[in-house]
């Protein structure tokens, strides 16, 4: 159940209509055991955002998920995400910051409970 928040200074009109769906597919492909259906993606465009003192296209990305991050895996994730953002939004990797956040299942509420409680009850799985 990854939560993805992308904040960028790229104008909304320059973001393809199907951007969220394509980004979702990429993330489902690169994150082990995570299916397309479990992602929540929020794209905030047209922000007054500077990086390195300029307003050239740039982005901050925060990805919060259960048990999928490691120093080795994060390098792979970063590469794939930066390539995708460059090909779709023309944001170079040198202007993209990605924060990978591992969160405990007990700290996420869902369906009037927590993910951990739902797992304990057999009503939730964190993988495909």
Domain boundaries, the chain: 3-120
Torsion of CA 61, 37, 34, 116, to 10 degrees: 90
pLDDT of residue 69: 95
CA distance 85 to 26: 11
Mean pLDDT to the nearest integer, 36-54: 93
Q: What is the pLDDT of residue 127?
A: 63
Superfamily holding 3-120? Macrophage Migration Inhibitory Factor (3.30.429.10)
Residues 28-37, mean pLDDT to the nearest whole number: 87
**Residue 90 CA from chain centroid, whole number:** 18
Give Cβ neighbours of residue 49 (< 8 Å, ≥ 6 apart): 7, 8, 9, 55, 58, 60
**Measured between alpha carbons, how far is 36 from 52 in angstroms, rounded to an integer?**
34
Give 115-126 pLDDT, tens digit per residue: 999 999 998 876
Q: Which helix (H) or strand (E) holds 115?
A: helix 115-120
pLDDT band at 128 (very low <50, low <70, confident <90, very high): low
């Amino acid at each position: 159940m990854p939560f993805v928040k992308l904040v960028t200074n790229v104008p909304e009109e320059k973001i393809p209509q199907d951007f969220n769906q394509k980004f979702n597919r990429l993330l489902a492909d690169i994150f082990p055991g995570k299916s397309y259906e479990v992602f929540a993606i929020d794209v905030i465009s047209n922000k007054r955002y500077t990086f390195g003192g300029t307003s050239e296209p740039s982005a901050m990305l925060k990805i919060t998920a259960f048990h999928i991050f490691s120093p080795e895996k994060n390098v792979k994730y970063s590469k794939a995400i930066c390539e995708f953002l460059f090909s779709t939004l023309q944001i170079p990797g040198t202007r993209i910051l990605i924060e990978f956040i591992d969160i405990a299942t007990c700290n996420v509420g869902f369906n009037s409970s927590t993910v951990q409680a739902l797992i304990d009850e057999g009503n939730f799985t964190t993988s495909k």
